[in-house]
Structure 1
Amino acid sequence: MKSPSTSSSRPTVGTALERIRTWCRWFFGVALRRQTYANVAYLFLAFPLGIGYFTVLVTGFAIPISLPFALVDIGRTEPGALLIVAIPLVLVTVCIGLPSALCALFASIELSALERLLAGRLLGAEVPTSEPATSVRERARRLVFDRGTWKGVGYLFSKFVLGVVSFVLLTLGITFTYALVATPLHYRNEMVGIHIGDPIEFVPEFTYQHDGWTIDISPITLSIADGELLSLYVDSLAAALAVSAVGVLVGLVVLHLFNAVAWLFARYTELLLRNTQPSVFSEPPGRDSSR
């Protein structure tokens, strides 16, 4: 006769094994999921797009922002010269600065639409837009006074920082993983691998103190010379294969890190670009933007 404790423990063990199998499928299956490489593609695009957005916006806002500061500076330092240069600077601001700023705002709406498209296609984000303008006059008013326009401008400026972060993460993650996985190919070559640029020295100091008297232990200098790091610890094919196996695990962790960063980017895009204006070209007035 089976005891009740034995029969009740079997579902618990089975549940634990199922959880382990589920976790293993989740962890090791990251390299086989299509979404992983869509996330990596989005992170790769973030850096060049961030530079492009920053260039467009800075170029558009440079004149209308800088000229008022120039007027203030001239008025503070050379009040007499302000009477001479004020009218030309105002004309330049009105005739060149304001149109360039409006062009930058219009470009920000279209670039925000591009970001919504990329986030939706690559990250699976859901970013609804506001209702499209029904007339040219309404669109012109919303171009300047709609909160969504300025949310898009802020997002595009921040994309420069996010692009730099993405580039650093991708570069470090991919190169570090490759250096570990490819250890059997280069562990004897000091010109390839993870390098220490400068010698590292560590001088520990130990002090024992008790009732007013101390004993200082003479420090011992620990140092690692500059050069290829893996070659300091890997000097055989077996050790290189072990490091390569560790590199595969590190690569899986790096892919999970990329997915986590992409998930954060998707939520950030949903937060800032939600209810921004639809594109003039892909979502003209009269078309349901929710589709």
Structure 2
Amino acid sequence: MSMTQRSTDGTALERARDGIRWFVGVVARKRTYANIAYLFLSFPLGIGYVTVLVTGFAIPIGLAFAVVDIGRTEPVALLVAGIPLALVVGCLGIPIAFCTLVATIELSALERRLADRLLGTAIPTADPAEGLRERARRVVVDRGTWKGVGYLFSKFVIGIASFVCLVVGTTFTYTLVAAPLHYRDQRVGIHLGDAIEFVPEFTYRHEGWTIDISPITLSLADGELISLYVDSVPAALVVSAVGVLVGLVVLHLFNAIAWLLARYTELLLRNTQPSIVSEPPER
């Protein structure tokens, strides 16, 4: 065997070892559990964000629609009640909308900090405004504010999807790994949630005549298609070993999802306004 071939074989072996070490080492990396923490927090935070935004924008938008509806259906009544409605919108609707946008800036800053701490990002912020007047103007007209609004609304969907992935991945892995503990319990396993029904139908038409095969319903009862039940210790140990492998894949999947969310957060929250609370404008 030549020296070149030995060197090539050694390099391939080292690459294989590095790949295995990287694949298995996901369990020992702190980044993995930081990513899982971020995915877990996305669910309650997403619910909180959409609650704040919907509540804050519902009142001014509702008032605006009420004024438009009155003006469209009862223009005379609008002339009579125009001043009181304008006072309500000006004294109640506009301040609530402004406060909601301020809350959006603060919540966006919170998301930047979470992404920096847990996902390892480094999202830059815009330069702070000089003075309260400039800060107030940027709250309304700055593009970063509205990017934050869109991001916070999307966080609701992201939180639900993250929670589903965590629950399904963790439950699936536990069911396999813990097979030796419940291998004789038929209630524990991987089963279909609902029955599957397949209705094939075939119709062919040609020059006035038709071939029509009546539909035949094929049903698979709950659990008949996919089920996992072992009744011996060796089989349970094999299933548990497979579960460990599946668990490693699931952890890598969690890391991949967190990486995508990090890129998404960087895209939408880059150069948004800094926190008003932690970085107040200069007077």
* Short-chain TM bin: 0.7 to 0.9
Bigger shift: residues 235-244 or 40-49: 235-244
Matches within 5 A, 1:161-240: 161-200=157-196, 223-226=220-223, 229-231=227-229, 234-240=230-236
Matched AA of 1:91? L
TM-score by length of 2: 0.87
Classify the secondary structure of the residue corresponding to 2:2. helix
How far has the Cα of 1:194 moved from its partner?
2.6
C-alpha contact (below 8 Å) 1:187/1:230 kept by paired residues: no
Identify which of 248, 257, 281 aligns with 2:277: 281
Identify which of 108, 113, 116 aligns with 2:109: 113
C-alpha contact (below 8 Å) 1:200/1:226 kept by paired residues: no
How far has the Cα of 1:99 moved from its partner?
0.6
- Which residue number corresponds to residue 41 of structure 1? 37
Could you tell me the percent identity over the aligned residues?
69
Classify the secondary structure of the residue corresponding to 1:39. helix
- Which residue number corresponds to residue 47 of structure 2? 51
Gaps of 5+ in 1: 206-213, 287-291
Classify the secondary structure of the residue corresponding to 1:195. coil
Matched AA of 1:173? G
How far has the Cα of 1:240 moved from its partner?
1.3
Distance in structure 1 (CA, Å) of the matches to 2:187 and 2:86: 60
Mark the CA change 1:104 to 1:24 in structure 2 (over 3 Å): closer, same or farther.
same
1:236-259 residue CA offsets vs partner (Å, 9 max, x unmatched): 221111111111111111100110
Equivalent pairs counted in the alignment come to 270
Distance in structure 2 (CA, Å) of the matches to 1:202 and 1:59: 45
Structure 1 residue 32 and structure 2 residue 17: aligned?
A: no
TM-score by length of 1: 0.84
Distance in structure 1 (CA, Å) of the matches to 2:84 and 2:110: 38
Classify the secondary structure of the residue corresponding to 2:26. helix
Gaps of 5+ in 2: 202-210
Classify the secondary structure of the residue corresponding to 2:280. coil
Classify the secondary structure of the residue corresponding to 1:134. coil
How far has the Cα of 1:195 moved from its partner?
3.2
C-alpha contact (below 8 Å) 2:40/2:162 kept by paired residues: yes
C-alpha contact (below 8 Å) 1:113/1:279 kept by paired residues: yes
C-alpha contact (below 8 Å) 1:63/1:93 kept by paired residues: no
Structure 1 residue 151 and structure 2 residue 147: aligned?
A: yes
Matched AA of 1:142? R
How far has the Cα of 1:222 moved from its partner?
7.4
Mark the CA change 1:133 to 1:8 in structure 2 (over 3 Å): closer, same or farther.
same
Structure 1 residue 65 and structure 2 residue 39: aligned?
A: no
How far has the Cα of 1:138 moved from its partner?
1.1
How far has the Cα of 1:204 moved from its partner?
8.5
How far has the Cα of 1:168 moved from its partner?
0.9
- Which residue number corresponds to residue 141 of structure 1? 137
Distance in structure 2 (CA, Å) of the matches to 1:264 and 1:22: 24
Distance in structure 1 (CA, Å) of the matches to 2:54 and 2:87: 21
